[in-house]
Amino acid sequence: MSLINDDMQQLLMKYCEPESELLQRIDRETNLKVLMPRMLSGHYQGRVLSMLSKMLSPARILEVGTFTGYATLCLAEGLQPEGLIYTLDINEELEDMVRANFAQSADNHKIRYIIGDANQTLAALEEIFDLVFIDADKKNNGTYYDLVFDRVRPGGLIIVDNVLWSGKVLHASQDKDTKNITNFNDKIAADHRVEKLILPVRDGLFIIRKK
């Protein structure tokens, strides 16, 4: 999924912070036990998310799409002492594994893990967020963006994963999934309420700052 070759990827990881033992274990078990393990953020992207969170020092984070909890824990590293991260996912089959992963973290008490349709569970949250990470079903990126926008404080960040879609966004002839990604990217490019840029990290991170 990464747009960077393996040698360069190894070099980048050499010069970034190491994974914790817990994150290493989550990565390994996800690859051994879970379908589509490539959905996991992984070492380098995880450090990017951690760094952005630490720079922002958020009191409230929202994550749409938990998977096995790797990115959740990376984002939680930057939370203020009394901060909270709400992470929403619809996959009940992974719940036991995810809760076990979170239970091993010192940040477990800061995590609110909510199972259900994000369109509904998000509506029930009465919070203003400093940081939002959207990494769920890609066809609904625009829907999630619209749902969270008014819940993000000025100066807050919305980060959206997989916006380069393994480079398929470059192709003139695009399948349905790729068109959805391109349409979302165009939507953000035209949104004058935000500053934005895409980082070519792993499969592309759209970094969106609300003015």
- What is the pLDDT at residue 184? 97
Q: What whole-number distance in Å separates Cα of residue 181 and Cα of residue 192?
A: 19
E-state strands within 65-120 = 84-89, 111-115
Instruction: Let me know: does 117 contact 28? Beta carbons within 8 Å.
Output: no
- What is the pLDDT at residue 106? 97
The encoded tokens of residue 21 equal 């033992």
pLDDT over 90 at 3, yes or no: no
- What is the pLDDT at residue 5? 86
Beta bridge partners of 158: 132, 208
Instruction: Let me know: does 9 contact 210? Beta carbons within 8 Å.
Output: no
Phi, psi values for residue 158, rounded to 5°: -115, 125
- What is the pLDDT at residue 172? 86
Q: What whole-number distance in Å separates Cα of residue 20 and Cα of residue 74?
A: 10
- What is the pLDDT at residue 205? 97
Confidence of residue 78 (pLDDT cuts 50, 70, 90): very high
Q: What percent of the chain has pLDDT over 90?
A: 93
Phi-psi region at 53: left, alpha or beta (left = phi > 0; alpha = psi -120 to 50): alpha
Instruction: Let me know: does 118 contact 136? Beta carbons within 8 Å.
Output: yes
Q: What is the mean pLDDT of residues 76-92?
A: 98
The alpha-carbon radius of gyration of the chain (Å, integer) is 16
Enumerate the domain spans of the chain.
Answer: 6-210
- What is the pLDDT at residue 179? 95
pLDDT in tens, 18-65: 999 999 999 999 999 999 999 999 999 999 999 999 999 999 999 999
Mean pLDDT of the chain: 96
3-state SS, residue 26:
helix
Give the orientation angle of helix 141-149 with respect to helix 176-189, to 10 degrees.
30
pLDDT in tens, 95-117: 999 999 999 999 999 999 999 99
pLDDT over 70 at 1, yes or no: no
For residue 29, which of 18, 40, 16, 44 has the smallest C-alpha distance? 40
Amino acid letter for position 67: F
The encoded tokens of residue 165 equal 């879609």
State the Cα angle at 34 between 31 and 37, rounded to 5°. 50
For residue 34, which of 68, 72, 2 has the smallest C-alpha distance? 68
The encoded tokens of residue 207 equal 């970094």
CATH class of 6-210: alpha beta
Amino acid letter for position 64: V
- What is the pLDDT at residue 58? 98
CA dihedral 72, 83, 204, 180 (to 10 degrees): 90
- What is the pLDDT at residue 133? 98
